[in-house]
């Protein structure tokens, strides 16, 4: 039997079938990736696509769908590439102004494939794969929104509906959701879900419980951040079990506006091709809370600019009134018309300069708060 320098049996002494079937299958994905760097033998064994397929299927049952299998077959390293793209979280980049040096050319994808899995306390509640065509003019110009459930389709849950803001909300915090977007044209994938809820809120009118998953990302236009929000709507009768009535995904900007298909695809292209990092506990929730705070400041700054604009409009009206009054006063003089034109040009020039200064001062102030 082969031994290492310390007299202990080396890993090469163990039959590869034993390593692959009894050892590697017991590891999780990140540990398996680390093990592949230990030796050339382990690297070869850890590169087996069948091993990674089992990992992906156990983590995300939706990836066993034939549609996903066909798409993943074109990935550089098959299911290992899918795992490397989808298991970590995306890198949260601050928005940067687009210049000629860092701007990227946009190539639209003909379709996006969604692989969605919902678990509760380790048990699978729902799994689905759906495809969205993305080339039509209707998709490009309409608000980007993907609905998971069909008409009148519901998903039962083991959570009891108490009718109050008590155990139901706490129990729904245990609902885990994964939403993998696959771009077949780029042979890449990304998980746009925070996996764990960032908030659970009860709708004040209908009493429905809204479970939100959120990933904050750059807007792709250097103008603030956006969030990819997934909302699971649950409803039920008091004393009975909650059931999922709706699951939807959309991308919203800092004004709360749902982006259109074209803008959303540009952002998703950046995210799919961007970096990945290890997921940290509560990181996505903290990012979401920071996004809400930044969104609040954005709204306050916008309201301030609108208020200043209203004041400028009032000032413009007063200026025009004074100008006409000046025309009446100086109208009897020979150069009254010239005086009137001079006053009008002078006043409007100062109003325009004032508005430009006000606008850029507001933008620079908000940018300073964001970067700070």
**pLDDT of 134-163, one tens digit each?**
988 899 999 999 999 988 889 999 988 876
Q: Which of 202-211, 213-222, 363-372 has the highest mean pLDDT?
A: 202-211
Predicted pLDDT of residue 67: 96
Residue burial 158-168, b: 16+ Cβ < 10 Å; e: rest:
ebebbeeeeeb
Rounded percentage of the chain residues whose pLDDT exceeds 70: 68
Is the predicted pLDDT of residue 121 greater than 70, yes or no? yes
Average pLDDT over residues 95-117: 68
Is the predicted pLDDT of residue 372 greater than 50, yes or no? no
- Would you say how long the chain is, in residues? 372
Q: Which of 90-104, 175-189, 191-205, 236-250 has the highest mean pLDDT?
A: 175-189
Average pLDDT, the chain: 78
Residues 6+ away with beta carbon under 8 Å from 141 = 260, 261, 262
Q: How many CA atoms lie within 13 A of 140 on its CB side?
A: 7
Predicted pLDDT of residue 334: 47
Q: Which of 156-165, 222-231, 249-258 has the highest mean pLDDT?
A: 249-258
Which of the pair, 235 or 358, is modelled with greater confidence?
235
Q: What angle do CA 17, 21, 23 make, to 5 degrees?
A: 105
Which of the pair, 197 or 94, is modelled with greater confidence?
197
Is the predicted pLDDT of residue 354 greater than 80, yes or no? no
Is the predicted pLDDT of residue 219 greater than 70, yes or no? no
- Where residue 2 falls among pLDDT bands split at 50, 70, 90? very low
Phi and psi for 364 in degrees, rounded to 5? -65, -35
**Residue 372 to residue 370: CA distance in whole angstroms:** 5
Question: Residue 340, Cβ neighbours under 10 Å: how many?
Answer: 18
Nearest to 90 by CA among 260, 231, 273: 273
- Where residue 258 falls among pLDDT bands split at 50, 70, 90? very high
Helical ranges in 87-161 per DSSP H: 137-141
First to last CA, the chain: 62
Rounded percentage of the chain residues whose pLDDT exceeds 90: 33
- Where residue 191 falls among pLDDT bands split at 50, 70, 90? very high
Q: Are 347 and 325 in contact (CB under 8 A)?
A: no
Average pLDDT over residues 116-144: 93
- Where residue 105 falls among pLDDT bands split at 50, 70, 90? low
């Amino acid at each position: 039997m082969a031994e290492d320098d310390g007299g202990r049996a080396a890993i090469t002494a163990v039959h590869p079938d034993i390593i692959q079937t009894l050892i590697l299958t017991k590891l999780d994905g990140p540990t398996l990736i680390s093990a592949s760097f230990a030796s050339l033998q382990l690297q070869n064994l850890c590169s087996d696509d069948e091993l990674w397929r089992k990992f992906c299927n156990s983590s995300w049952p939706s990836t066993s769908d034939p549609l996903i299998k066909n798409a993943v077959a074109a990935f550089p390293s098959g299911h290992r590439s899918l795992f490397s793209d989808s298991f970590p979280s995306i890198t949260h980049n601050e928005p940067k102004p687009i210049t000629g040096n860092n701007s990227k050319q946009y190539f639209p994808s003909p379709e996006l494939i969604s692989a969605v899995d919902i678990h509760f306390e380790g048990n699978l509640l729902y799994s689905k794969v759906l495809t969205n065509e993305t080339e039509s003019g209707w998709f490009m110009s309409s608000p980007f929104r993907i609905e998971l459930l069909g008409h009148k389709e519901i998903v039962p849950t083991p959570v009891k509906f108490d009718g109050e803001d008590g155990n139901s909300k706490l129990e729904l915090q245990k609902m885990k959701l994964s939403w993998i977007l696959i771009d077949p044209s780029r042979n890449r994938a990304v998980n746009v879900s925070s996996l764990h809820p960032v908030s659970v809120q009860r709708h004040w009118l209908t009493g429905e419980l809204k479970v939100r998953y959120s990933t904050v990302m750059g807007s792709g236009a250097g103008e603030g951040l956006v969030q990819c929000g997934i909302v699971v709507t649950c409803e039920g009768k008091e004393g009975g079990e909650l059931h999922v009535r709706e699951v939807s995904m959309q991308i919203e900007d800092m004004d709360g506006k749902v982006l259109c298909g074209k803008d959303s695809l540009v952002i998703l292209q950046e995210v799919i091709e961007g970096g990945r990092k290890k997921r940290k506990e509560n990181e996505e929730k903290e990012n979401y809370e920071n996004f809400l705070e930044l969104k609040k400041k954005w709204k306050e700054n916008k309201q301030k600019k609108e208020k200043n604009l209203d004041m400028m409009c009032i000032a413009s009206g007063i200026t025009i009134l004074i100008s006409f009054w000046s025309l009446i006063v100086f109208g009897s003089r020979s150069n009254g018309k010239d005086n009137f034109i001079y006053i009008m040009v002078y006043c409007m020039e100062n109003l325009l300069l004032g508005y430009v200064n006000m606008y850029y001062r507001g933008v620079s102030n908000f940018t300073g708060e964001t970067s700070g």
